[in-house]
Amino acid sequence: MNPLLDIHPEVAQALQRGAAVVALESTIIAHGMPWPQNVETALAVEAEVRAHGAVPATIAVIDGRLKAGLDRPAIEAFGRAGPSLPKASRRDLPLLLARGQSGATTVAATMIIAALAGIRVFATGGIGGVHRGAGTSFDISADLQELARTPVAVVCAGAKAILDLPLTLEYLETHGVPVIGWRTDRLPAFYTRDSGLPLVQRADDVAEIAASMRVQWGLGYPGGLVVANPIPAEFEMPRDVITQAIAGALAEADAQGISGKAITPFLLDRVATLTGGDSLASNIQLVLNNARLAAGLAVAYVAQPIA
Ligand code: PSU
Ligand code: MN
């Protein structure tokens, strides 16, 4: 085991006996939602994973240690600290660890730590992607490169329409990352079920996805995959409301010159405010929905014969 990694005893036991484990990220807690909904959601997501037969492992960096599995006080402390914690992606981990500091892990950093711990399934809200205007800003989330290099299945509600979704799909295709629609032929757009973009891969049964993961890694592919799970219809946002909020948030970011790692948290916060908090309620429901599917996938994965 990596000497920088602490696996929570319950998670370690589950991994040892070949039981299902689901990784969860901590940037969504510290930077993706306001307190106290962030803590309530993180705890509810863990409970949802358990209710569906898997052990949750919330992932973070605490005092220079990689953590796979947090107890309740640690989750509460993370949620209260919120944006005062650094947002940690792949490039941030080495110096943070060397200095003995703490950080909230993005999808990319969570995948790295999950893979080190031997966890193959991860649930989140939405992945980072190619930003609108990336042709000049070059802003492409490190999440996409991580999906190309680290063997973890990421269950998400697609990506937010704050991003350039067609280019995000192109990038994933170029890097050979499978994007499997869960009971859908279209890429979900986080708050809405359908971005209008066709997906070429679809699965209706978790055993199929689990088998595909075994084959992918059996072939020696280095990377992961995206399982794109649409938000339940009853929690979808009206398309015009969310489109307007996103346009407003993007215009504000542009006017204020927000860029780099600050842009995603800025846009998430502004969209939530501009929708009067409605988008937060949708956000919470889609994360719970992803936790359920990820638990089912983790159960199916450990039941699969090794390819
Ligand atoms: N998208 C969301 N909610 C989030 C994030 C993305 O809808 O909380 C977070 C995730 O942690 C993701 C990160 O990995 O933002 C991407 O940030 P960046 O674009 O700076 O790589
Ligand atoms: Mn970026």
* 208-222 confidence digits (pLDDT tens): 999 999 999 999 999
Question: Which ligand is closest in space to the CA of residue 267?
Answer: 1
**How far are the Cα atoms of 53, 174, 254 from residue 299, in angstroms, in the given order?**
7, 30, 44
pLDDT of residue 305: 79
**Atom from ligand 1 closest to the CA of residue 260:** 20
pLDDT of residue 244: 96
Q: What is the mean pLDDT of the chain?
A: 97
Model pTM score: 0.98
Burial of 198 (0-12, 13-18, 19+ CB in 10 A): exposed
Cα dihedral sign for 69, 71, 74, 76?
positive
What confidence tens digit (pLDDT) does each residue in 227-255 have? 999 999 999 999 999 999 999 999 999 99
pLDDT-based confidence at residue 140 (cuts at 50, 70, 90) = very high
pLDDT of residue 132: 95
Domain 5-303 has CATH 3.40.50.1260: no
In this predicted structure, the answer to whether residue 144 has a pLDDT above a threshold of 70 is yes
Which member of 25, 46, 76, 146 is catalytic? 25
**How far are the Cα atoms of 30, 184, 293, 295 from residue 205, in angstroms, in the given order?**
33, 12, 10, 13
Tell me, yes or no, if 48 is annotated catalytic: no
pLDDT of residue 307: 57
Give the domain ranges of the chain. Answer: 5-303
> What mean pLDDT is predicted for residues 56-78?
98
In angstroms, rounded to a whole number, what is the distance separating the alpha carbons of residues 114 and 108?
10
What confidence tens digit (pLDDT) does each residue in 265-307 have? 999 899 999 999 899 999 999 999 999 999 999 999 999 877 5
Which member of 67, 87, 160, 261 is catalytic? 160
Dist. CA 10 → ligand 1 center (Å): 27
What confidence tens digit (pLDDT) does each residue in 148-173 have? 999 999 999 999 989 999 999 999 99
Contact 141 CB / ligand 1 (< 6 Å): yes
pLDDT of residue 231: 98
Contact 160 CB / ligand 1 (< 6 Å): yes
